């Protein structure tokens, strides 16, 4: 059973545009929703994370939007840059298990 569904699988955005990646989950007991950025051949790095008591969190060009009733959360990358080209993973934590469960990943390419 897939605990978190991520879309799209790949995304091409023009430089300066907005990149949007979505995740949906089933277990309402999850209480921590992070996004990770991974470059080829590297480990993932935490970008931004949110807890279910807020609907939005912004850090620089990165924003998480959280919809508790719909059990969805999304990552918005404003003013996308070629250096943002990477694979992005959402994850969920909690629900009785002390572990992160990752989405399937989105390969983002930002073109000039």
Partner 1 sequence: GAVVSQHPSWVICKSGTSVKIECRSLDFQATTMFWYRQFPKQSLMLMATSNEGSKATYEQGVEKDKFLINHASLTLSTLTVTSAHPEDSSFYICSASGDRYNEQFFGPGTRLTVL
- Rounded to the nearest 5°, which phi and psi values hold at 84? -85, -10
Angle at 103 between CA 102 and CA 105, to 5 degrees: 115
Q: For the segment 25-44, give every residue that binds partner 1 (CB under 8 A).
A: 32, 34, 36, 41-44
Query: Where in 77-96 is the site for partner 1 (CB under 8 A)?
Result: 89, 93-94
Q: How far is the CB of 78 from partner 1 (least distance, A)?
A: 22
Q: Is 99 in the site for partner 1 (CB under 8 A)?
A: yes
Written as one string, the DSSP assignment of 64-80 is EEEETTTTEEEEEESS-
- Residue numbers of the site for partner 1 (CB under 8 A)? 32, 34, 36, 41-46, 49, 89, 93-94, 98-105, 107
């Amino acid at each position: 059973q897939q605990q978190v569904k991520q879309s799209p699988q790949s995304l091409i955005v023009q430089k300066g545009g907005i990149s949007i990646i979505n995740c949906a989950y089933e277990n309402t007991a999850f209480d921590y929703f992070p996004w990770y950025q991974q470059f080829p051949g590297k480990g993932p790095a935490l970008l931004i994370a949110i807890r279910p008591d807020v609907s939005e969190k912004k850090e620089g060009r990165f924003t998480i939007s959280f919809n508790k009733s719909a059990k969805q959360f999304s990552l918005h990358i404003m003013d996308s840059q070629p250096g943002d080209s990477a694979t992005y993973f959402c994850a969920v934590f909690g629900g009785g298990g002390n572990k992160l469960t990752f989405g399937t990943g989105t390969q983002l390419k930002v073109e000039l």
